[in-house]
Amino acid sequence: MFPVFDVNTQAGKQGYNAVLVRLKDTASLGSDAAKVVGEVMTDVREYGDAAVVKYMQKWTDPGFDASRIRVSKRELDEAEAELKPEMREALEASIANVLEYQKHVCPKDADVIEIDGAELGMRFTPVESVGCLVPGGTAVLFSTLIMTAVPAIAAGVPVENISVVSPPPTRIGDEEAGDISPLVLATCKLIGIEKVYRIGGAQGVAALGYGTESVEKVEMIVGPGNVFVQLAKGMLGGACGSDNGFYGPSEIVTLADSSARIECVAADLIAQAEHNPGKCFLVAWDREVIDGIVGEVKSQLSRRKRVEAIDRALETESCAVLAKDKDEAIAYANEIACEHVNLAVADANKVLPQIKHAGEIFVGDQTPVAAGDYYAGPSHTLPTGTTARFTSGLSAYTFLKRTGTVCYPNGMSEKTMRHIAMLAEAEGLDGHAESVRVRGRK
């Protein structure tokens, strides 16, 4: 388990490169998957509920019918009523923390600046409606509901205009079909969301994007999912906006030195590996540090419930990287461009500015990634597959449209009109030029 690659040797570099290629491939939207998703999207667009039911029967529940698409108010009420007080308290604290942070970072309208007689500004306005994708096929991630819906509310999206799709568990073999998680329903109720649909996959994305008899169309779809979900979001084109991020299988890079508490670092690596699949990278420039952490991972592994999934993820999707020094280790962390970066080093605050590519950074070995997953404030919906090189995680910013404003309160000067008209005519657009000149005539 957990191969160690000394990247200053040829064999080590080759081993590391092979893992990096697999990591990047998770964000590669292959043609075979695209064909399947394209068929689903076309079906749902043309046949609505009937197509959604067909795919839910195929992948989730043979007995699924259209009456089950929309979750009833009674089901939401019952799920909330069954919440244990301790769980309610934890959920409410998480919602409050995320809302406070997201409101804090939400941008305000720019101050007006005057340039050449024009008063210029920038307004931020929220999208009118949002659909949140909450995974439920292989794991119940009710926390994703908080991390997608609450930033939308902080941005100003009315809660009554937020929809949620979350499927029952994926049926495996002949096992009995399950149902949508009561924790997802209870969390919806606590947030105030009433439009909840027990569907998922590409068909859930298509239903939100195009609308069906049972599912209301939304203006933007956000949230994580597998390659089929990510492809579906991209195929909506102008019909519906999306978060424009690849939010796939969970990942972590831990940068560690001899000051790190190995039990904390090992626990963080295991926590990401248990996502099934999870991808873990330990980067250090001291072999003893790596050996100590790898040994601690082995020691802790037997105490976890998902031992097989964790072991498989560590062996096939993960590795430890032995660099020659701290600077090289930081360079490798930036190359991996991970969803989560944990700085388990003595001078974490000095290293922080050197991390250029990361979905979210956890500073110090006393800051577990799980705090970001559930509770701290920033959304856990983050870029994966090295896409942190060019994109960001979900936040209140995701739901805001930027609109420039222009006003010439006293009209344009002769020079301004002359310049604009000259530029317009140079492009062969004399109508543009005349629309400026006419304003200068008495």
**Nearest-angstrom CA–CA distance, 436 and 39:** 49
**Nearest-angstrom CA–CA distance, 151 and 27:** 24
Nearest to 344 by CA among 381, 276, 290: 290
- Residue with tokens 């999306």, as numbered in its chain: 242
Q: Say if residues 199 and 69 touch (Cβ distance below 8 Å).
A: yes
| Burial category of 196 from C-beta neighbours within 10 Å (exposed 0-12, middle 13-18, buried 19 and up) | buried
Q: Say if residues 184 and 134 touch (Cβ distance below 8 Å).
A: yes
**Nearest-angstrom CA–CA distance, 400 and 35:** 32
Q: Which amino acid is at 170?
A: T
Task: Give Cα separations from 408 to 111, 334, 404, 416, 423 (angstroms).
Answer: 16, 46, 14, 11, 19
Query: Cβ atoms within 10 A of the Cβ of 372, count?
Result: 23
**Nearest-angstrom CA–CA distance, 228 and 130:** 20
Query: Cβ atoms within 10 A of the Cβ of 403, count?
Result: 11
| SS3 readout for 98-150 | HHHHHHHHCCCCEEEEEECCEEEEEEEEECCCEEEECCCCCCCCHHHHHHHHH
What is the set of active-site residues?
A: 339-340
